[in-house]
Structure 1
């Protein structure tokens, strides 16, 4: 983590490759463990409708599901990245499997191939597939208990799954399976100083226009929910990286404030020392895993 602390920039594209270059060698000793643990299944019609599953070795009890939803700015990302970074996001899969979760890493459709709320619908369908295919997950999978751990744009999609009424209304019984969600470094809206949404911005490509982006941002959706719908939401926790871009910190804070104002007790976890990229790449390296242990403790406290 010392190398991350020496990076003065927080802009994602500036720190992206320098940060990855720090952690790729540290993950290499985990190669055999990660690649052997990974099992891949198809949950839908396209190549983007696939998911990887990592199962705990402990067969003495049932284990809840944990969906890791990666980010990528709406336009990039996949469950297993290309070499030399092909151990992400298997590093997260084996880490949480070792802590008692059947960990699932689903792909979802990206823009411009998908528009709002397509990616959230894919998360819904991935959950539906796991619930209806317990044999593929193994005998210790507790399909009645599912949690989402979602980062950056993935956090936007996970919040859309929970907050956009049309998404889960197509499969209303699925809501009961979702026992909690942890949203990490995800924009709850796109209006802070320092971030402009233009017509060619990736968010506008996904939502359809700058106006639609504002209208369907997670904070807007949450504020529009009636009180009874808020009460029916699963427990939420938020994560902020210490070295996130400042506008991310603003929008995370805005969403946390909105949750508290409506009576939701949502912890705000600080991923100490992390920038936006090291947050996920450090897992399974033995460095900077404090936020992940807090997530495990929070889930167990529910």
Structure 2
């Protein structure tokens, strides 16, 4: 974590490589245990980007477990659930970390810029959730711990959190059968108020959202202004988390969505600061032996919301 602290004040691109490298060395020490958790890969749609990995708790356990979907970031420009060495333990670490603590974990790829328009990647995440929910027999075949698809949690980081927020706020994306299964939402350092932070919206991303008027309506804060009452009344609990040393333009957006959600939903909005973390470091830290406290806090929150 000293590496993370030493990078405070640098631009986001300048933080990525040294942060990733530091945690890759730590994850390598736990490689055997990370890879010991059973996983399955499925195709949930038409393209190579429509694939997902599912991680299961240890074979020494039995019964059923809640399902946690993790949605990675990358600004809709980059990102993959499977990375080339030496980055190949990233995201596997997240699957193993939460599987070790009693969750069936799903990590899905989704389509990226430039070949997308709003809300294509969010639709992909929706379709991944729908595919898993509709294929319980296939998902649960030959595993000791079965996925309990009556309780699904969503955890998104960075633009993955933007996608998760969009998914639960867009009134037409989630059919009732899926929406009623969402037991909680964890939003980690997302961009929710993009029009107020031009640094977060390069031109290709602006083109993804559309005109200035469409951006205002389609960003999560804009969607919150038009959410139907029936959705607000049945909204899942929210945990909003942010790194202690997060990317400065992200922080006002994080604070604003907390404020607006607290004013609009009755299910509850909890907050967590990830001590010692930057914007880049949280996903890298799980199963590394350093900086994992935030993950343990999230596990405790998820279990408190499980039934």
Determine if the alignment matches structure 1 residue 234 to structure 2 residue 240: no
1:199-238 equivalences in 2 (<5 Å): 200=203, 202-238=204-240
* Deviation at residue 117 of structure 1 after TM alignment: 0.8
Do structure 1's residue 181 and structure 2's residue 185 form an aligned pair?
Answer: yes
Separation of aligned partners in 1, 2:177 and 2:160: 22
Deviation >6 Å, runs of 4+:
none
Of 54-63 and 73-82, more deviation after overlay is shown by 54-63
Closer/same/farther in 2, CA of residues 195 and 131 from structure 1, 3 Å limit: same
CA 1:10–1:259 in structure 2 vs 1: closer, same or farther (change >3 Å)? farther
Is this contact kept in 2: 1:152–1:184, CA < 8 A?
Answer: yes
Alignment partner for residue 172 of structure 1, among 167, 170, 176? 176
The residue that corresponds to 1:276 in the other structure is: 279
Over 3 Å counting, the alpha-carbon distance change for 1:79 and 1:197 in structure 2 is closer
CA contact (8 A) 1:10 1:244 kept: no
Structure 1 residue runs without a partner (length 5+): none
State the partner residue of 1:296: 299
Question: Which of 184, 191, 197 matches 2:195?
Answer: 191
Q: Is the 8 A contact 1:131 1:143 kept in 2?
A: yes
Kindly tell me: are residues 196 and 140 of structure 1, through their superposed partners in 2, closer, same or farther at Cα, counting changes over 3 Å?
A: closer
TM-score by length of 2: 0.92
> Quick check: 1:53 aligned with 2:61?
no
Shift of 1:142: 0.4
Q: Distance in 2 between matches of 1:196 and 1:131?
A: 33
Which SS does the other structure have where 1:191 is aligned? helix
Alpha-carbon contact 2:170-2:223 (below 8 Å) kept = yes
Give distance in 2, aligned partners of 1:10 and 1:271: 19
Deviation at 1:206, TM superposition (A): 2.0
Taking a change above 3 Å as real, the CA distance of residues 94 and 228 of structure 1, as seen in their structure-2 partners, is same
